[in-house]
């Protein structure tokens, strides 16, 4: 039989075992990466070392080889169960097309940094709404819509996209503005859920946000569904926002209130903090992110000092230190170990019962590729991992001059269209089947 390795040429190999045949066709073919983590998929003996994983890991032994291989355009790897695979390939063809990353952003950190520096900021006509929570907090939603949509003329059934930004991010981030602008051009409503305090508003309680607590997201989803009960709702979560979406899906099951989701998220909080604490990543990313968290803490000192030592929190130099001194205290965790266990979606794939397409890059400095739940996704009817060789952390810059669009900006409209225009097929993913095998 022919095994289609999406990061390398097709090769003829012997028959696979039933358990391998039951998985998705997009299997990472690297023995070295499999040894790195038990989550990586098994590799038939005849498969060669995967070029994309060499670009991600090879820099440890041969930096030049890793960079050169990373510059070669390749198809992303799509890992999921057979039914979701059959839905995505025809309706979302970008998942089987070659990704052409920006040549001069040949490393994940460059993708991450230049996305912030280079992306344009489209104008979006927001209107804001404040929701009151049961604990006395306030949630700020920024909403945008185009009236008179020709494709969806009935406002009651007009599809809605709920967007969740990353850590300390809000509706004004360039990547959020691009996604909202695309949603409006496609005829959808867009709602951006800003985490507490992230839009510049003062906190009314000591609780801001944390990756494991999905109560605020549940409140927002229920609010939207109450107002537009007939409108399909798709959630799109980026970084921390993606973690919240995944944890919400795992916690709520089929009662999540969403028809489908799209994320670009970190799956394992332990691996994320460990990666961000390496010297170069700490210099480039961690110090900036921690400073943003501490700034929000200082701006809300009066309400925060009721439960934590604010001055001690402000001395944090890493996200882990901030979590130890504030997040664990405010949200009732004994320590970072228990918090990160609760926050990591990696162990919760089996609990997700709503379709979710998860975009990750093998060179993401925030989320190492060995932390992806590939084996669980391979057997899942609802979770699909789409892994590019390059892209960094929510970078995915493409083309020679990536001012306007990135891979995520192309993936989102195709996936949203597939979700909103083929609801019956999407619901069919949950139907019982005598066999759950995927292609190989």
Distance CA 408, CA 321 (A): 31
Determine which one of 30, 269, 364, 367 is catalytic: 364
Structure tokens, 127: 């209107």
Determine which one of 239, 275, 344, 409 is catalytic: 239
- 133-136 LR contacts (CB < 8 Å, sep 24+): 133/215, 133/216, 133/219, 135/205, 135/207, 136/204, 136/205
Beta-carbon count within 10 A of 93 CB: 11
Q: What is the CA radius of gyration of the chain?
A: 21
Distance CA 408, CA 86 (A): 21
Is the CB of residue 430 less than 8 Å from the CB of residue 439?
Answer: no
Is 364 marked active-site? yes
Determine which one of 216, 269, 393, 440 is catalytic: 393
> What region does 369 belong to: left with phi over 0, alpha with psi -120 to 50, or beta?
alpha
Is the CB of residue 436 less than 8 Å from the CB of residue 379?
Answer: yes
Is 433 marked active-site? no
The single residue listed with the structure tokens 């891979």 is 407
3-state SS assignment for residue 3 = strand
Distance CA 130, CA 109 (A): 36
Is 186 marked active-site? no
Is the CB of residue 143 less than 8 Å from the CB of residue 220?
Answer: no
Catalytically active residues, by annotation: 239, 364, 393
């Amino acid at each position: 039989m022919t095994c289609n390795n999406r990061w390398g040429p097709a090769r003829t190999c012997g028959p696979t075992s039933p358990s391998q045949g039951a998985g998705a066709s997009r299997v990472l073919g690297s023995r070295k990466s499999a040894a790195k983590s038990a989550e990586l998929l098994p590799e038939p003996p005849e498969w060669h070392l995967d070029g994309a994983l060499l670009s991600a890991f090879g820099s440890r032994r041969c930096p030049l080889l890793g960079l050169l291989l990373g510059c070669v355009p390749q198809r992303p790897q799509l890992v999921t169960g057979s039914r979701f695979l059959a839905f995505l390939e025809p309706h979302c063809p970008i998942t089987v097309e070659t990704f052409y990353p920006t040549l001069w952003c040949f490393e994940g950190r460059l993708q991450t940094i230049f996305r912030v520096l280079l992306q344009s900021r489209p104008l979006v006509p927001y209107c804001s709404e404040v929701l009151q929570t049961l604990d006395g907090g306030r949630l700020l939603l920024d909403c945008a819509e185009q009236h008179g949509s020709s494709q969806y003329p009935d406002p009651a059934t007009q599809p809605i996209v709920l967007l969740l930004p990353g850590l300390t991010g809000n509706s004004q981030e360039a990547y959020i503005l691009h996604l909202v602008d695309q949603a409006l051009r496609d005829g959808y409503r867009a709602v951006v859920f800003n985490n507490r305090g992230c839009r510049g508003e003062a906190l009314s309680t000591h609780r801001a946000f944390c990756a494991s607590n999905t109560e605020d997201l549940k409140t927002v989803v229920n609010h939207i569904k109450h107002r537009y009960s007939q409108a399909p709702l798709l959630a799109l979560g980026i970084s921390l926002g993606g973690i919240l979406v995944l944890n919400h899906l795992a916690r709520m099951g089929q009662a999540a209130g969403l028809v489908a989701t799209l994320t670009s998220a970190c799956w394992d909080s332990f691996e994320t903090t460990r990666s961000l604490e390496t010297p170069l990543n700490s210099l480039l990313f961690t110090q900036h992110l921690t400073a943003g968290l501490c700034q929000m803490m200082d701006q809300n000192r009066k309400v925060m000092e009721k439960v934590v030592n604010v001055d001690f929190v402000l001395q944090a130099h890493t996200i882990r230190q901030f979590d130890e001194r504030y997040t664990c205290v405010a949200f009732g965790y004994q320590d970072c170990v228990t918090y990160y266990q609760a926050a990591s979606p990696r162990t919760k794939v089996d609990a997700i019962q709503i379709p979710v397409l998860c975009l990750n890059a093998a060179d993401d400095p925030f989320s190492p590729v060995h932390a992806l739940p590939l084996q669980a996704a391979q057997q899942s009817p609802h979770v699909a991992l789409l892994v590019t060789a390059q892209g960094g952390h929510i970078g995915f810059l493409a083309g020679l001059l990536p001012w306007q669009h990135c891979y995520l900006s192309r993936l989102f409209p195709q996936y949203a269209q597939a979700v909103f225009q083929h609801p019956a097929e999407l619901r069919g993913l949950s139907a019982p089947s005598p066999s759950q095998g995927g292609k190989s």
